[in-house]
Amino acid sequence: MSDVSDVSDVSDVSDVSDVTPADRPAAVDFRGVTKIYGRSTPREYTAIKDVSFTIADLPDHGEISSFLGPSGCGKSTVLRLVAGLEPQHPPTSGTVTVLGREVVGPGADRGMVFQDYTSFDNRTVLDNVAFGLECRGVSRRQREAEGREWIERVGLDPVRDATKYPHELSGGMRQRVAIARTLILRPRIILMDEPFGALDPATRLDMQDLLVKLWREVQATVLFVTHSVEEAVYLGDRVFVMATTPGRIAGDIRMPAAAAPARETQLEPWFHEQVQQLHEQIEKIESAAHHR
Ligand SMILES: Nc1ncnc2c1ncn2[C@@H]1O[C@H](COP(=O)(O)OP(=O)(O)OP(=O)(O)O)[C@@H](O)[C@H]1O
Ligand SMILES: [Mg+2]
């Protein structure tokens, strides 16, 4: 991976050679992807340059890749390119492929959860969660049954909370609604852009546990953007460390799978070691970037 080579002296980038079974296309594949905003204008800015990585589509498994890096390094740009959302999509050069097909726009195979709670204010929790099914023409009876199931799965009360409106919910509850709304559609690929960034630390740990539990159930491939090293280590099977100016992948590291709840994992020595190592690596990447 060419992006890794220029900082290989500062990190023990483990070899994450791809384990995609030969007969399955990768879940997500970036080949030499560059995104220049405001091209040929005075505001021209290269957000990411020559980014290449492959995330395997693991049968009956799926995995979480965390994207970690300083503000402005292009994390949201990468995620939105996968989602096929403008103006990030299309890339200026290079190719973004999802499940073997070049991305041409948004699609039902991908679901996105944003940092800000993106629910409809004038719809109840149940109608928000069932919205995507409604768009697909699923009958009211069936979508309400499935909606209630998902409300329960994300830890809300399928009776009491179902009739509430978003303004009657806490931040954590709203984010549970956003997750249910996305997962009810069973996307193969879930894109999460700092979904827990606005939550208090305790709620955040609860949400991390919830995600690990749901992820085991739905077996989707998750791309998870975060500023938190702890979150990246806990949730990630793999952590991509990004560097800035221009945005690029500077490290690609395998992590042990989350086996215990976040609060317990955070007490384990290996967890501290991984977090410490990643902090050191990020510092080196950042100081290398300042001296370029
Ligand atoms: N629509 C846009 N037009 C012009 N420049 C943009 C646009 N979107 C992002 N950028 C620039 O591209 C760079 C990468 O932005 P991006 O949002 O991908 O960063 P990020 O890593 O998600 O940052 P943060 O952690 O703050 O969310 C930034 O310098 C940003 O100013
Ligand atoms: Mg961002």
CATH number at residue 53: 3.40.50.300
Atom of ligand 1 nearest to the CA of 247: 14
Asked whether 71 lines ligand 1 (CB < 6 A), one says yes
Asked whether 166 lines ligand 1 (CB < 6 A), one says no
Q: Are residues 274 and 229 in the same domain?
A: yes
Q: What is the mean pLDDT of residues 244-271?
A: 90
Q: Name the domain count of the chain.
A: 2
Q: What is the pLDDT of residues 188-222, one digit of tens each?
A: 999 999 999 888 899 999 999 999 888 888 889 99
Domain stops at, among 160, 186, 212: 186
Q: Are residues 34 and 101 in the same domain?
A: yes
Quickly tell me which residue has 């830890």 as its tokens. Answer: 155
Q: Are residues 141 and 247 in the same domain?
A: no
Asked whether 113 lines ligand 1 (CB < 6 A), one says no
Asked whether 72 lines ligand 1 (CB < 6 A), one says yes
- Contact assessment for residue 224 and residue 64, using Cβ atoms and an 8 Å cutoff: yes
Q: What is the mean pLDDT of residues 255-263?
A: 87
Q: What is the pLDDT of residues 142-168, one digit of tens each?
A: 999 999 999 999 999 999 999 999 999
Q: What is the mean pLDDT of residues 176-194?
A: 94
Q: Are residues 131 and 170 in the same domain?
A: yes
Ligand 1 centroid vs 150 CA: distance in angstroms? 33
Q: Are residues 222 and 95 in the same domain?
A: yes
Average pLDDT, the chain: 88
Q: Are residues 36 and 143 in the same domain?
A: no
Q: Are residues 82 and 27 in the same domain?
A: yes
Q: Are residues 88 and 133 in the same domain?
A: no
Q: Are residues 80 and 153 in the same domain?
A: no
Q: What is the pLDDT of residues 96-116, one digit of tens each?
A: 999 999 999 999 999 999 877
Q: Are residues 218 and 172 in the same domain?
A: no
Atom of ligand 1 nearest to the CA of 242: 21
Q: Are residues 196 and 166 in the same domain?
A: no
Ligand 2 centroid vs 197 CA: distance in angstroms? 11
> What range defines the domain where residue 159 resides?
117-186
Q: Are residues 203 and 278 in the same domain?
A: yes
Band (292; pLDDT cuts 50, 70, 90): low
Q: What is the pLDDT of residues 38-49, one digit of tens each?
A: 999 999 999 999
**Ligand 1: residue whose CA is nearest its atom 3:** 37
* Mutation to probe ligand 1, out of 37, 39, 40, 81 (largest number of atoms < 8 A from CB): 37
- Could you give the CA distance from residue 146 to residue 186 in angstroms, rounded to a whole number? 12
Domain stops at, among 170, 186, 202: 186
Could you give the percent of the chain with pLDDT greater than 70? 91
Atom of ligand 1 nearest to the CA of 79: 18
Ligand 2 centroid vs 74 CA: distance in angstroms? 7
What are the structure tokens assigned to 30, written together?
A: 């970036």
Domain stops at, among 156, 186, 216: 186
What are the structure tokens assigned to 101, written together?
A: 């097909």
Question: Which residues have their alpha-adjacent CB atom under 5 A from ion ligand 2?
Answer: 76
Q: What is the pLDDT of residues 127-139, one digit of tens each?
A: 999 999 999 999 9
**Ligand 1: residue whose CA is nearest its atom 12:** 47
Q: What is the pLDDT of residues 14-72, one digit of tens each?
A: 444 445 566 789 999 999 999 999 999 999 999 999 999 999 998 777 789 999 998 89
pLDDT attached to residue 8: 35
